[in-house]
Amino acid sequence: MRKLLQREFAGFITLALFLIYLAFAAPSFYSLGNLRDIALANVSVLLISTGMTLVIVVAEIDISVGSLFAICGVCGGLLARGGLPIWMLPFAGIAIGSALGAANGGLVSFVKAPSIVVTLATMVAWREALNWATGGAWVENLPANFQWFGLGQAAGEAVLFSATAVLFLAILWASHNLPAFRSIYATGSDAEAARLAGINTKLVVFAAFVLVGALTGLASVLNAVRFSDVPANAGIGLELQSIAAVVVGGTPITGGRGRLMGTLIGVALLGIIGPALTYLQLSPYWEKAIQGGIILVTVLFDALASRAEKRPALA
Amino acid sequence: MIPVLEAVGIRKSFGGVRALRGVSFEVCAGEVHALVGENGAGKSTLIKIFAGALQPDEGEIRLEGTPIEHLTPAKSKSLGIAVIYQQPALFPDLTVSENIALAHEPPTAFRRIDWRKRNEHAATLLSRVGADMLPQAYVSSLSMPEQQLVEIAKAVDAEARLVIMDEPTASLGDRDAENLFRIVDELRKSGAAVIYISHRFEELFALADRVTVLRDGESMGTFPMAEMTNRDLVRLMVGREMEAVFPERNCTIGEPVLEVRHLSCVSRGVHDVSFVLRRGEVLGLAGLVGSGRTQFAETLFGLSRADGGSIAVGGKAVRIESPQQALALGLAYVPEDRRRHGVIMDFPVSMNTTLASLERVSRGGFLDFTAEQRVAEEYRERFRVKAPSVDTPVRNLSGGNQQKVSLARWLMTEPRVLILDEPTQGIDIGAKHEIYMLIGELAARGIGIILISSELAEVLGMSDRIAVMHAGRLAGVLDRNHADAHMVMELALGHAAVSD
């Protein structure tokens, strides 16, 4: 347990305290319906944050995920309307997301452009391209089996939850047990040293962007099937949400370290604040302020922790 | 005569580690005072206290007899103490003259910058320290030795009473070192006090008036340099007699393992290098800094693309275009500047050891942590890495131990050819000896070793043959039995013709 919660400690304690407080101050928060709503709303955030964690661990950043999310959703809707078998939708989302992620990764890795600039450019470009193409119109008149994959709400939700859980656990497990993931940490920690150790660091960085793209594409489709239409302006602010979750989870923005368990805690912590405010009968305007406060506190905790670490331990 | 700087009973602890246990030290005007000791003996802590970067827990510092309280970096500077660290601490995106002016420039009327005066002043200083760069040159465009000279120019400019030099020659070739010695001598003649830290005994004997030896945070005493011998110093530093720094090696040299023919990488300044390396052979690669040794090694290892020539490994012609290919062919490269590239600081000893051979600690494509721990523990013991456990981050190890971890990583790949680039730079004599022993062991097991080193004694002591580079070309290859320091230097300076 101690090993599980080193750097994500601050987030974990805050989450635990907040949940205990809610149990006393607003017990109705714990109704099944409410918890399910919160989970549903955060499934896509968790998937994207998982990919974002790996991008941040390789010491890069991707702020284009919100735009990727919108494009994958609209494309998914159009494909479904065009007659694509409904079970293929998630795979279409993954394929489109991967392609867009590969464009980011290629520019960062092989053209050596800084990732913040590349993804800022693609964020704006894809968003505007989508606006131009759709004229802002939603994708409507979707086939009847689009919503919940035609399974009905209960079964559809079960599919969403289990797909997300299985993917998250698989990536969590892989991050500990696959040699390839160790290359990710090595590259983020010291790219030149990793290169000299025989790691293809360009490929590692490229792969991280493809992975976040794929997860964003999947998240977008899983999110879209909750509704009967696909909006053209989905995913605004998603990049900040996912980066914040990663940071609150204890992953330093400078790369090389960070763990997915922390990201899960980060997503949960930031995700429950909005709904909790309603139950505590506070103005929803507080949500962003509280989220900002939490980010600040984690970053401070992190700075203090790494200062303690830097003390020479051995002569 | 009152010493310029006097420290009495200095104690300093970090957490539970006592770095200094009551050290007293003094340095007088017009004196070069050598400070020696193994890594971790407390040299760096002591000079950081003099520089005001650290506060002592106990003890007193007096400057020309006056006790100084709460020394800060700014105060230390204003009192005329200049510190030149091992790694130059300059602003890379500013010019040489701006760097010099930032350290010390008298205020002008209306705080206006007089660029002409500033550049002229910098030019004078640079010529005084024997540097031939332009004052308008950006520091990022300078080589390491040139940056070191700018640091020295800053100290000269400040007319420091006390100049502290922490291994100033660690990154210098022999010619630049000569220039440095001249400057140190001038500083002494001008009446400044100099504290000089170095692991290279020859230069201490040539330069220093007195020497203070530190061991485990305690002073072993201060002695006139003229009364000391190499052996005395080693004994005081390590507390034991060191019979021979270089191990006896009597191994059989086998068939060629690496053949390099006319290898060039013009963009990195490597031209037409040819040699043969055999199983069990240590080939020393000597040359001045900037002679292209590292560039050659990087070309060989696939880090830079060769644009001419051929390579054969184990008799088979190969192309090496990436480090992955080099690794697969059985080449391993322990780079220079291990602090930056040799190990991954965030990783523990175990993960650093296995990084280049993860397939050997995997089962069915998944990491096997038990196997990893076992293998890492094995190498830790064999390489005598001083770390509490294999889970200790390498950040917390000393330089010598980091180097051993880096060596262990490459050894685990079971290479046929091992390229070592300055493997003992900046590490203490005890750890050096252990690394020499390891190199000997590896050669005895049939690995061909290319040893790049700027220390002549090391090249002469360890190599079977010595290849000398000059200006990106191989100036000559000498046999160990017929080589001496003078011959190597002549070749390195480009004086001698190419010989076989």
Among A66-70, B168-172, B356-360, the least confident range: B168-172
- Domains, chain A, in order of start with CATH, read 9-23+31-302 (1.10.3470)
Q: Residues of A with CB below 8 A from B326's CB?
A: 198
For B296-316, what is the mean pLDDT?
A: 91
Nearest to B345 among A176, A189, A199 (CB): A189
Q: Which amino acid is at A254?
A: T
Q: Which amino acid is at B47?
A: I
Mean pLDDT of chain B: 85
Q: How much is the pLDDT for A122?
A: 96
Tell me the angle at which helices A153-177 and A32-57 cross, rounded to the nearest 10 degrees.
30
CA distances to A10, B184, B465 from B450, rounded to whole Å, are 49, 34, 10
Interface check for B333 against chain A (CB to CB < 8 A): the answer is yes
User: Is the per-residue pLDDT at B290 higher than 90?
Assistant: no
User: Is the per-residue pLDDT at A274 higher than 70?
Assistant: yes
Rounded to whole angstroms, the Cα distance separating B154 from B199 reads 24
For B17-36, what is the mean pLDDT?
A: 90
Q: Which of B335, B338, B332, B331 is nearest to B403 (CA)?
A: B338
Among A288-297, B11-20, B155-164, B221-230, the least confident range: B11-20
Per CATH, domain B256-492 is 3.40.50.300 = yes
User: Is the per-residue pLDDT at B498 higher than 60?
Assistant: no
For A61-79, what is the mean pLDDT?
A: 95
Q: How close is the nearest chain A Cα to the Cα of B15, in Å?
A: 7
Rounded to whole angstroms, the Cα distance separating A247 from A250 reads 5
Q: How much is the pLDDT for B40?
A: 65
Q: How much is the pLDDT for B337?
A: 67
Rounded to whole angstroms, the Cα distance separating A19 from B207 reads 69
CB-based contact A177 B366, cutoff 8 Å: yes
Q: Which amino acid is at B499?
A: S
B200 or A243: whose pLDDT is higher?
A243
Task: Identify the closest residue of chain A to B367 by CA–CA distance.
Answer: A177
User: Other CB atoms closer than 10 Å to residue B184's CB: what's the count?
Assistant: 22
Q: How much is the pLDDT for B338?
A: 57
Q: How many CA atoms lie within 13 A of A302 on its CB side?
A: 21
- The 3-class secondary structure across B408-477, one letter per residue, is HHHHHCCCCEEEEECCCCCCCHHHHHHHHHHHHHHHHCCCEEEEECCCHHHHHHHCCEEEEEECCEEEEE
Q: How much is the pLDDT for B374?
A: 93
User: Is the per-residue pLDDT at A188 higher than 80?
Assistant: yes
Rounded to whole angstroms, the Cα distance separating B173 from B500 reads 24
CA distances to A16, A26, A296, B430 from A277, rounded to whole Å, are 16, 10, 20, 64
pLDDT tens-digit readout, B410-432: 888 889 999 999 888 767 777 78
Q: ipTM exceeding 0.90? A: no
User: Is the per-residue pLDDT at B176 higher than 80?
Assistant: no
pLDDT-above-70 percentage for chain A: 94
User: Is the per-residue pLDDT at B500 higher than 60?
Assistant: no
Under the banding of pLDDT at 50, 70 and 90, the label for residue A2 is very low
Q: How much is the pLDDT for A196?
A: 85
Tell me the angle at which helices B174-189 and B144-157 cross, rounded to the nearest 10 degrees.
10
CB-based contact A314 B387, cutoff 8 Å: yes
Q: B315 CB contacts (<8 Å, ≥6 apart)?
A: B255, B256, B259
Query: Residue B162: beta bridge partners?
Result: B81, B193
User: Is the per-residue pLDDT at A306 higher than 70?
Assistant: no
Of A199-213, B216-230, B292-306, give the range with the top mean pLDDT. A199-213
CB-based contact A179 B396, cutoff 8 Å: no
This prediction has a pTM of: 0.74
Q: How much is the pLDDT for A315?
A: 32
User: Is the per-residue pLDDT at B497 higher than 60?
Assistant: no
Mutation target vs A (from B13, B396, B401, B406; most A CBs, 10 A cutoff): B396
User: Is the per-residue pLDDT at B171 higher than 70?
Assistant: no
CA distances to A203, B84, B380 from B387, rounded to whole Å, are 33, 30, 8
CB B28 within 8 A of CB B193: yes
DSSP codes of every residue in chain A = -TTTTSTTHHHHHHHHHHHHHHHHH-GGGG-HHHHHHHHHHHHHHHHHHHHHHHHHHTT-----HHHHHHHHHHHHHHHHHTT--GGGHHHHHHHHHHHHHHHHHHHHHTS---HHHHHHHHHHHHHHHHHHHHTT--B-S--TTSGGGGS-HHHHHHHHHHHHHHHHHHHHHHHHH-HHHHHHHHHHH-HHHHHHTT--HHHHHHHHHHHHHHHHHHHHHHHHTTSSSB-TTTTTTHHHHHHHHHHHTT--TTSS---HHHHHHHHHHHHHHHHHHHHTT--TTHHHHHHHHHHHHHHHHHHHHHHHHHS----
Among A131-135, B335-339, B360-364, the least confident range: B335-339
Q: How much is the pLDDT for B160?
A: 86
CB B181 within 8 A of CB B206: yes
Q: How much is the pLDDT for B404?
A: 87
Query: Residue B499: beta bridge partners?
Result: B476
Rounded to whole angstroms, the Cα distance separating B183 from B189 reads 10
pLDDT tens-digit readout, A28-47: 899 999 999 999 999 999 99
B231 or A266: whose pLDDT is higher?
A266
Among A8-17, B1-10, B445-454, the least confident range: A8-17
Q: Residues of B with CB below 8 A from A172's CB?
A: none
User: Is the per-residue pLDDT at B39 higher than 70?
Assistant: no
User: Is the per-residue pLDDT at B228 higher than 80?
Assistant: yes
Under the banding of pLDDT at 50, 70 and 90, the label for residue A101 is very high
Nearest to A186 among B324, B347, B359 (CB): B347
B181 sits in which H/E element = helix B174-189
Q: How much is the pLDDT for B342?
A: 81
A108 or A136: whose pLDDT is higher?
A108
Q: Which tokens sit at A76? A: 């998914």
For B328-348, what is the mean pLDDT?
A: 82
Rounded to whole angstroms, the Cα distance separating A238 from B459 reads 59
Confirm whether B5-238 and B256-492 share one CATH topology.
yes
**Domain assignments of chain B as residue spans, ordered by start:** 5-238, 256-492
For B372-391, what is the mean pLDDT?
A: 89
Rounded to whole angstroms, the Cα distance separating A259 from A247 reads 10
Q: How much is the pLDDT for A222?
A: 94
Q: How much is the pLDDT for B145?
A: 79
Rounded to whole angstroms, the Cα distance separating B150 from B159 reads 14
Q: Which tokens sit at B196? A: 């000089």
CB-based contact B345 A257, cutoff 8 Å: no
Interface check for A83 against chain B (CB to CB < 8 A): the answer is no
Q: Residues of A with CB below 8 A from B362's CB?
A: 179
Under the banding of pLDDT at 50, 70 and 90, the label for residue A1 is very low
What does the DSSP 8-state code read for residue B153?
H
Q: How close is the nearest chain A Cα to the Cα of B296, in Å?
A: 15
B491 sits in which H/E element = helix B485-492
Rounded to whole angstroms, the Cα distance separating B261 from B477 reads 14
Q: How much is the pLDDT for B225?
A: 92
Q: How much is the pLDDT for A173?
A: 94
For B124-149, what is the mean pLDDT?
A: 86
Mean pLDDT of chain A: 89
Rounded to whole angstroms, the Cα distance separating B260 from B311 reads 5
Nearest to B356 among A189, A198, A315 (CB): A198
Q: How much is the pLDDT for A60?
A: 96
pLDDT-above-90 percentage for chain B: 32
Q: Are strands B58-63 and B66-68 parallel, antiparallel or unpaired?
A: antiparallel
Q: Which tokens sit at A177? A: 């047990």
Per CATH, domain B5-238 is 3.40.50.300 = yes
